[in-house]
């Protein structure tokens, strides 16, 4: 290799090194000093904050699950408030009030994993009555007492984990003694009526608990009754005669939105 070629290689290498050094100087940013602890608030537990203006959690059994993505409820609330809403449906079918505290405090699974409600930075939690899935293995009096105990635990857990969040109870539509679960279970008319009476007892106890503890309650149950005191079949699915019909979903969603707005919950 000639001296001229060697010099050319050295010059090219020097130019490359200079370019790299120049680029480093342009892009170099000194590492900032860590902030002083003074004035910095660090919470013990980070909560998930959704980007919408308001976040609502609704928890219950399959009567709540039937609301799905709560499209109707979101629309009614948005019409009232002119704001955006995130509604998280923690309605799990075939579950009763005995599972409520776990849903609040622990990760649970129902088709997919659900984070603990206590991890969510919600504005409002709606607790539905779980009346359609009573703990029938217990005598009624004992079951109602257990329902109250579980609600005590749930309220205490919510107040401890998220004291700023508001709590409202929901009493869902009434079952109908004549048609309840007609396509699901073969029952005599007397047994069918007893099943409904048991479910109504838990729904009513949910209402009574709310009233005695100064918790706002959306009494859809009362508004769904016919003059004879039975549940209005127009709000009940003709597929299983348990869950809300499309008209029932609209009815429930409207009642919830009306109450939240009229009572200035948010």
User: Residue 87: beta bridge partners?
Assistant: 56
What is the chain's percent helix, strand, coil content, to nearest 5? 45, 15, 40
Asked if pLDDT for residue 114 goes beyond 80, the answer is: yes
Residues 179, 233: Cα–Cα separation, whole Å = 8
Give domain status of residue 13, yes or no: no
Give domain status of residue 6, yes or no: no
Give domain status of residue 229, yes or no: yes
Return the half-sphere exposure (C-beta side, CA atoms, 13 A cut-off) of residue 169: 26
Give domain status of residue 37, yes or no: no
Give domain status of residue 33, yes or no: no
Domain count, the chain: 1
Asked if pLDDT for residue 20 goes beyond 90, the answer is: no
What lies within 8 Å, CB to CB, of 90 at 6+ separation is: 57, 58, 59, 60, 64, 103, 114, 117
Asked if pLDDT for residue 10 goes beyond 90, the answer is: no
169 phi and psi, to 5 degrees? -90, 150
Residue 266 CA from chain centroid, whole number: 16
Asked if pLDDT for residue 220 goes beyond 50, the answer is: yes
In the structure encoding, which two tokens stand for residue 81, read together? 């408030």
Give domain status of residue 39, yes or no: no
pTM: 0.82
pLDDT at 264: 98
Give domain status of residue 247, yes or no: yes
Sign of CA dihedral 61, 63, 65, 71: negative
Contact 168, 265 (CB under 8 A): yes
Residues 189, 45: Cα–Cα separation, whole Å = 52
Asked if pLDDT for residue 113 goes beyond 90, the answer is: yes
CA-nearest of 230, 253, 246 to 177 is 230
Q: What is the CATH number of the domain that holds 170?
A: 3.40.50.1110
CA-nearest of 244, 234, 199 to 66 is 244
Report residue 179's pLDDT band, with 50, 70 and 90 as the boundaries.
very high
Residues making up the chain, counted from first to last: 266
Helix axes 246-262 and 71-81, enclosed angle (nearest 10) = 30
Region 16-44: what's the mean pLDDT? 40
Residues 238, 94: Cα–Cα separation, whole Å = 19
Report residue 41's pLDDT band, with 50, 70 and 90 as the boundaries.
very low
- Average pLDDT across the chain, whole number: 88
- Which residue range(s) make up the domain with 192? 54-262
């Amino acid at each position: 290799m000639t001296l001229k070629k060697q010099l050319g290689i050295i010059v090219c290498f020097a130019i490359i090194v200079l370019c790299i050094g120049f680029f480093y100087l342009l892009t170099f940013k000194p590492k900032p000093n860590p902030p002083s602890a003074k004035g910095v608030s660090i919470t013990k537990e980070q909560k998930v904050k959704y980007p919408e203006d308001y976040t609502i959690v609704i928890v219950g059994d399959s009567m709540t699950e039937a609301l799905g993505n709560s499209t109707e409820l979101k629309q009614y609330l948005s019409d009232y408030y002119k704001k955006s809403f995130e509604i998280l449906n923690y309605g799990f079918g075939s579950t009763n009030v005995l599972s409520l505290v776990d849903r609040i405090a622990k990760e649970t699974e129902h088709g997919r994993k659900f984070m603990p409600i206590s991890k969510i930075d919600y504005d409002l939690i709606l607790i539905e009555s779980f009346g359609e899935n009573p703990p029938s293995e217990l005598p009624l009096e004992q079951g109602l007492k257990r329902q109250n105990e579980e609600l005590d635990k749930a309220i205490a857990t919510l107040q401890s984990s998220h004291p700023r969040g508001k709590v409202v109870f929901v009493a869902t539509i009434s079952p109908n003694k004549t048609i309840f679960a007609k396509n699901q279970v073969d029952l005599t008319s007397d047994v069918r009526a007893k099943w409904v009476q048991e479910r109504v007892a838990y729904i009513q106890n949910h209402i009574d608990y709310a009233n005695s503890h100064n918790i706002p309650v959306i009494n859809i149950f009362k508004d769904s009754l016919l003059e004879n005191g039975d549940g209005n079949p127009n709000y009940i699915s003709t597929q299983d005669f348990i869950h809300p019909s499309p008209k029932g979903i609209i009815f429930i969603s409207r009642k919830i939105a009306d109450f939240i707005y009229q009572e200035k919950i948010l």
